[in-house]
Structure 1
Amino acid sequence: MKMIKELLEGAKALGACRKIDGIDTLDQLVELYESPQGREFCAERSYPSRQQWTGIRDHWGGEELSKRNIYIDAAAGRCVCNPGTVVAVGSGTCLHATLSGADEMQRIIALCGANVTICAENYAVFEVINDGTASVAVTKDATVVEL
């Protein structure tokens, strides 16, 4: 709870809206982060900072975060298939995402030097959000839509 409070206070100091009120679980925090407004707010302000991402990892642990498709300094290569939304943070993180089919739009968020490879096929629709420091390589067939 203390970590959530610190993150929300930091966001409020940066001008976050009232959507942060009442957030008190990791799942609620992740849901807010992955919302369009949350992604926009965080991207415009580079929030959380690299140091805060490390604190998040240390607080909740890699296993708990990986259940929510969040990988912070994940030393071993991680593979995900149609994750919905996945977050890769840190230069030590190597993520391979396989995207197939149009059942759900996929979103890959690559931050703080993460290394991401994407293989997309079979009418997959996806978006990559890169903070400009991550390495993202995409292989796709002619049916794929990249937003």
Structure 2
Amino acid sequence: MIEKEIIKELCDSARNLGACKLIDSIRDIEELSKYIFTPQGLEFCIIHEFPALSVLQRHKDTIEKYGYFVDCGHISRNNDTNIVLAGDTVGELSYDNPTCLHKIILMHGASVKINASNYVVLQVYQIGKCHLEINKDQTAIIL
């Protein structure tokens, strides 16, 4: 399935769940990914457990380059600004870059161990049942 078909599927699904009209202006996966990390997008995703795991699984190879890790087994990442872990993914995420707000979304059963230090600021969101472990120094802030 090409990216335009993926966008159509995701936007149609979001529209059916009552997404605001901003969804109609989204033209590509990168733009949709940015929208999901806005306050409105995060609220919508949390309330509706959106996108569904089955949708993420169907498109996991295409969406990984946008920071979506679906059924990836064990992964290790450092200082991602925005990242989504979903399904059978167990992440070890390390953060020590204090120059931006880092947003982490756990969805549909994902697990993560987060190591945070050096005045880093993180926002962590859990959609559905997930496992979260945080190790931080006294300077890191978890919102």
RMSD over equivalenced CA pairs, Å? 1.3
What TM-score do the two structures reach when normalised by structure 1? 0.89
Deviates more, 1:113-122 or 1:92-101: 92-101
> Would you identify which runs of 4 or more consecutive aligned residues in structure 1 move more than 4 Å?
none
Give yes or no for the alignment of 1:120 onto 2:116: yes
Q: Secondary structure at the match of 1:41?
A: helix
**C-alpha separation between the residues in 2 aligned to 1:70 and 1:9?**
20
The one-letter code matched in structure 2 to 1:28 is: E
- 1:88 aligned to which of 70, 85, 88: 85
Percentage of matched positions with identical amino acids: 30
Structure 2 residue 16 is matched with structure 1 residue 18: no
Structure 2: which amino acid aligns with 1:69? G
Q: In structure 2, what is the Cα distance between the partners aligned to 1:78 and 1:84?
A: 16
- After TM superposition, the structure 1 = structure 2 runs for residues 45-60 of structure 1, keeping only pairs within 5 Å, are 45-57=48-60
Deviations 1:97-133 (A, max 9, x none): 1011321111111111111010001111111101241
Cα offset, 1:13, TM superposition: 1.2
Runs of 5+ consecutive residues of structure 2 not aligned to the other structure: none
Amino acid at match of 2:53: R
> Number of paired residues?
140
Letter in 2 for 1:70: Y
Structure 1 alignment gaps of length 5 or more? none
